Amino acid sequence: MTTAPDFHSPTDLRKHIQETMQFYHPRCIDPSGGFYHFYKDDGRVYDERSRHLVSSTRFVFTYAMAARHFGADEYLPQVRHGLAFLREAHRNPLTGGYAWLLDWRDGQGTVVDGSNHCYGLAFVLLAYSHALLAGVDEARGWIDETYDLMEKHFWQADFGLYADEASTDWTTLAPYRGQNANMHSVEALLAAYEATDDLRFLHRAERIAHNITVRQAALCDGLIWEHYHIDWSVDWDYNRDDASNIFRPWGYQPGHLTEWSKLLLLLERHAKQLRQPADWILPRAIALFDAGLDTAWDQQHGGICYGFAPDGAICDADKYHWVQAESMATAAVLAERTGEARFWLWYDKLWDYCWTHFVDHRHGAWFRILRGDNSACTDDKSPAGKVDYHNMGACYEAVNALRRWQSR
């Protein structure tokens, strides 16, 4: 294992981001369109044809961030390369929707799953927002287009939240309701606001955030359950036998509790522009972070377990990269916001764990998932959805928090 960097040094964290990016760039680029999505630990592509909307959009995010922080000449062409694939391959020009999964071969795509997911559109909105921030001016209109699509087909004004899934032709809305799509919609809406200064994005993010982390959480002892019925009553049984489902796992997700904490604090930074007083935000952010770490931190092996049941028992003891990364970033943001030393202690503890167990010091990037005892359980480093978007994004957020803290 290489010598650990100074986790309180923005320079060292930026170097780690670059090293992580180098695992993907340029091997991820498919000259015929888009990017390759599936990688073994050593960087070998093990599926050249499957193209998932979540990976396609997250690659745009990682390249846009790299273009802004490390050089547009090298990375901005790949932002445009990824945008072209979203517009020309994933997007259905007749319906405006985006295919969830494509089979891509010889420069041609076949739709494998054309259903529309709010979760997917949230990442489309995130990709366009970061593309605009990176200097792709035409993305401004695509931000409006995507937001209008989400509002038309998924927004439910009576509940103040987005629905989750619709058929390819938009005629049928699935009865499932979930918090995850709404959480990532808040992430995307905050990025859209920062890219455009359009207050409707900020106000929509504010409303969703309050409805999930306050109103819906009140139904679940102050925590955030993942799954709901069509009337947004809690569905305690959805995926009860599938605690490790990639997008809809059963159980409380400590990674989502801490991720919400981070998003609330990002929302609070715009307190003067919010419609309601922001005094509820910080207490909720602290409570969610504390609940996730107090319940799910593995005292024996370290790291945060994937999920816990309503009674507090761990229902999935595996360790996932994104849970550790998001929690690390949140600890830094909380530490900078509150000045409380305990959050810096959590930041250091999480980084030490991640550096020891999750960062691949041989091939680069982060391992995806480990067993509860931190042993490897797969050599698939990046299947659909990963692309180290969480890990690099968390490092960028930690850099921002450290710079604010050190400039005081």
Query: CA 184 to CA 256: how far, in whole Å?
Result: 10
pLDDT class for 242, splitting at 50, 70, 90? confident
Does some domain include residue 225? yes
Active site residue 256: yes
- For residue 91, the Cα-to-chain-centroid distance in whole angstroms is 21
Does some domain include residue 235? yes
Query: CA 56 to CA 120: how far, in whole Å?
Result: 10
pLDDT tops 80 at residue 244:
no
- What's the token pair of residue 274? 């919010």
Query: CA 5 to CA 365: how far, in whole Å?
Result: 15
Q: Kindly report, residue by residue over 338-364, the tens digit of the pLDDT.
A: 999 999 999 999 999 999 999 999 999
Does some domain include residue 81? yes
pLDDT at 223: 98
pLDDT class for 243, splitting at 50, 70, 90? confident
Residue type at 167 in one-letter notation: S
CATH number assigned to the domain comprising residue 211:
1.50.10.10
pLDDT at 3: 85
pLDDT at 319: 98
Mean pLDDT for the stretch of residues 362-384: 97
pLDDT at 272: 97
Q: Kindly report, residue by residue over 200-241, the tens digit of the pLDDT.
A: 999 999 999 999 999 999 999 999 999 999 999 999 999 998
Taking all residues of the chain, what is their mean pLDDT, rounded to a whole number?
97
Query: CA 290 to CA 352: how far, in whole Å?
Result: 19
Q: Kindly report, residue by residue over 117-153, the tens digit of the pLDDT.
A: 999 999 999 999 999 999 999 999 999 999 999 999 9
pLDDT tops 80 at residue 257:
yes
Q: Kindly report, residue by residue over 273-301, the tens digit of the pLDDT.
A: 999 999 999 999 999 999 999 999 999 99
Q: Kindly report, residue by residue over 7-24, the tens digit of the pLDDT.
A: 999 999 999 999 999 999
Does some domain include residue 3? no
- What's the token pair of residue 350? 């999480």
Is the distance from CB of 122 to CB of 181 less than 8 angstroms?
yes
Mean pLDDT for the stretch of residues 307-311: 97
pLDDT tops 90 at residue 2:
no
How many structural domains compose the chain?
Answer: 1
pLDDT class for 247, splitting at 50, 70, 90? confident
Active site residue 130: no
Domain range for 319: 10-406
pLDDT class for 246, splitting at 50, 70, 90? confident
Please identify which of the residues 81, 184, 210, 390 carries the catalytic annotation. 390
Does some domain include residue 1? no
- Percent with pLDDT over 90 in the chain: 97
Please identify which of the residues 256, 270, 301, 321 carries the catalytic annotation. 256
pLDDT at 375: 98
Non-local (6+) Cβ contacts of 298 within 8 A are 304, 305, 317, 319, 372
- What's the token pair of residue 199? 């207050």
pLDDT tops 80 at residue 249:
yes
Q: Kindly report, residue by residue over 381-391, the tens digit of the pLDDT.
A: 999 999 999 99
Does some domain include residue 2? no
